[in-house]
Structures are given as C-alpha cells and as structure tokens.
Copies of this chain bind each other. A is one copy, B any other.
Amino acid sequence: MARKRNGESLGQDLGEPAAGNGLLHRRAFLQGGIAFTGGAAALAVGSQPGLAASAQANPIGNGSPPWMTTPGKLFSPYGMPAEAESGVVRTFALNKLAPGVGSSRTPHHRLDGTITPNGLHFERYHNGVPDIDPAKHELVIHGLVDRPLVFSLDKLLRYPMESHIRFIECAGNSASAAGAAPPQANVQSIHGLLSCSEWTGVPLSVLLDEAGVQKGASWILAEGADAAGMGRSIPLDKAMDDTILALYQNGEALRPEQGYPMRLVVPGFQGNINVKWLRRIKVTDGPTQTRDEIAHYTELMKDGKARQFWLEYGPKSFIARPSFGVNLTGPGYYEISGLAWSGTGRVAKVEVSADGGKSWAEAALNEPVLSKALTRFRLPWQWDGQPAVLMSRATDERGIVQPTHDEWSATFAPGQIYMYNGIQNWAINDKGEVANV
C-alpha cells in the first residue's frame, strides 16, 4: 500500500540524491518515492531493513509495563512537563553585580515545531521582572496627539484584537558566532535568544488613531514599567503598520517575564524594541535617543561609521538536529531539522548542504509559512558514516540571501555582535560527533 498523495505519478525518482553527501529530495517521503524498506538499499540502516526493529512473533506477549498495572496520576489545575524532560529548560548565568541584567535561552536543540511554549520563551531584562498589579497598571499615550489618553487593562479588553504568530529575537542572539572562532557550544547557547509565539492584542494603530496623531509626528517612544525604565524609539510607520499591543501569548495572558500585563510586539524588529511592561507611548518628531539606544544597540561598520536604529532582521537559519551535542548514532537515514526566519517577511527558501557548501538541496518548509514567524525546515539525509559539514541558508521573499560568516564580517568592524545572521556550519566526524566550524 504505497503512499501516493492525490494519486499522482512521480515525475522523477525521488530516491536519487538531491545534493552531495546523501541529501535526498525534500518530497521523497511525502510522495512515496522512497521508503525505509523496499528495494532502496541506500536507505537501509546498518543491516536492518529500516530504523525500527522487527517485532517478535507475538508483539505484545511479554506482559504489560508497570504503568499499565497501577492507576495513574490525577488531574492538575495547571500542567507541567514530564519529569523525564526536566533537562529541557532555559539556561542562564547570573551577573553577580547586577543579577537582574541578563538573559535566559530557549533549548531549541530539544524542541520541534515552530511554537515556543511559554515556559521556555527566552528572557531578557535590564533590571529584572517587575511584579506589576494589573489593576493598577496604566498605559498613557501622549506627545504629538490631539487627545492624550490613559488605558486600563480592563478597558483594553473591549478593543478590537488580532492574533499573529511572530518570532522575537534578541539583538544579541548568536553573538558568540559573530567572532573569529566558532564557539563549541550548543544551539541553545548560540541561538537561544529567539522564540516564537501566537501573540494576541490590539493593533497599536487603533489606539494611536483614537489619540489622534498630529502632523509632523514621525516616531514614537515606548517605555516599560520595569525598574530599568527601558525605552526605545520606533518609527511611526512601523507603529501604524503591524505593531500590536499584546495582552495574550499562546492563548493565555502574557507571562511576567514577557511583559505582563502588556507589551509591544513589533514584528521582525530587534527584540528590545518589543517593549515589555509597556506604560507609555510618546508620539514624537524624531527618535528620543534614550540611554538604551545610545549606550547599546548601535553597530560599528568597517568604515568607522555606526548604524543606529538598524532594527529589521535579515534572513537567518540554523540546523537544530543534528547540532552540537545532538550527535548521530550510526550511519543511515536521518531527518535534518531546523528553523528559519526573517524580519522582512516570509521565508521563501531554505537550502541545505552536507558537503560544506559545494552543493545544496532545497529543504521542505512546514506549512503554513507565515510572515515574520519561525519556519521549520526539514530534509531527508542518508549519512554514509563519513565526515560531513552541514549548513543551512535561508532566502526571504525579497530574494535576500543569508550571508556567510565571512560576508557578514566584511561589513562590520571587528567585535560587533548585534543582529548577526551568518550561516551556521556543523562538522560531523566519523563517530557522528558534531562540532561548530
């Protein structure tokens, strides 16, 4: 009973390699062109016909496992992950001098799909998580407006809302990969300042329209109610476009570390622009030049000039499985799985190489591919047990291609780390161990 979707015949032999070093066609499985078994000897795993082991004659004859002979655990008001998954957590290193300054990272090497569960969304604070009483929190809109306004959370719940799946990425994500020596560290350590959620809230344009933006206005200042008073300037065009005042994350109220009770979600823009614990929007005729955008978040170029207010992410991707610490367990079939995204819109294409960039095969993108959201890509791979170098390269819908590390380095002064989006290379040795190269 071969699986042929829509009864179509195969126009090509999908079992043939799509690129060097064992990369197979992205539709190989979905269109039934290959199978673990069947005649395709290249797909055999060791001496077995497939990855699965053959079952004994009576496959359930060995009696019941212990968890089938005892009544199970009871209901809980709010569920938590299995104890066996207790290692799948955010990682962080406390700063002894200023413990509320820093970040924690999402374990993408242990996750799959595109949504980040709320408990594992990366954190970044400039002075810890404020303990806000939602009944006393207010959002003020003032500055170049006809009517300065104050919004309570209760009132905002009556406003029109939208839901969108969007990634948020810290400006410092992948910073360690921007340097000259590739860090021998896992995906969580290198790329973990990145997460993706379904955000629900009020379009900021609705609130700005109600306040009445005046002529001459061109930027807004957004300020948080944390003890850092974190403030960033945002171009008014972006604030009026797809920016929302988010109240819900993945269905439920925002988590405290994600800005409870309200934050901005500014799709595709630098993480700190998505101001958390939002208390104030001031409509202005230019950027405010806050401490947070002068002392940080500018990028020095090769020519000695600095980029300020460079806010929109370019296309980026990494392979999560296999990756550093997620090794191969023997030759044979694997699915290469990773994440791609772009601040500019949808991901148009992700290519994967298994031979260090000599040849590339196009990965399958998990549908629906959404704008400014994480996109899962996958590609079948037959590993022959020999050394290989895996790479992924994202192209966005404008045709912009993710740069190599060298291309990125040619643009910026040494030591620059923000907004790094170079290609991630993983070298696999003949034992299946993965190194960053």
CA distance A207 to B64 in the complex (A): 23
CA distance A120 to B149 in the complex (A): 35
**Inter-subunit contact B206/A29 (CB<8 Å):** yes
* Chain A contacts with B in 95-123, Cβ cutoff 8 A: 99-100, 102-104, 110-121, 123
Point out the residue from B82, B116, B160 that lies within 8 Å of A378, measured CB to CB: B160
The 8 A CB mask of A212-238 against B (1 = contact, 0 = none) is 111001000000011101000000000
Q: Is the interface of A mostly helix, strand, loop or mixed?
A: loop
Nearest opposing residue in chain B for A260, CB measure: B82
Q: Is A251's CB within 8 Å of the partner chain B? A: yes
Q: Is A125's CB within 8 Å of the partner chain B? A: yes
**Inter-subunit contact A72/B37 (CB<8 Å):** no
Q: Which of A129-137, A285-293, A395-403, A412-420 lines the interface with chain B?
A: A129-137
* Oligomeric state, in copies: 2
Q: Which of A11-19, A150-158, A176-184, A266-274 lines the interface with chain B?
A: A150-158
**Inter-subunit contact B115/A210 (CB<8 Å):** no
Point out the residue from B53, B127, B151 that lies within 8 Å of A72, measured CB to CB: B127
Q: Which of A54-62, A296-304, A311-319, A347-355 lines the interface with chain B?
A: A54-62
Q: Which of A73-81, A167-175, A385-393, A423-431 lines the interface with chain B?
A: A73-81
Query: Taking beta carbons and an 8 Å cutoff, which residues of A are in contact with B?
Result: 1-3, 29-30, 32, 35-37, 49-56, 59-60, 64-65, 67-82, 84-85, 88-92, 94, 99-100, 102-104, 110-121, 123, 125, 127-134, 136-137, 140-142, 147-152, 154-155, 157-163, 198-200, 203, 205-214, 217, 225-227, 229, 240, 247-248, 250-258, 260-261, 277, 279-280, 321, 329, 332-335, 337, 366, 368, 370, 376, 378, 380
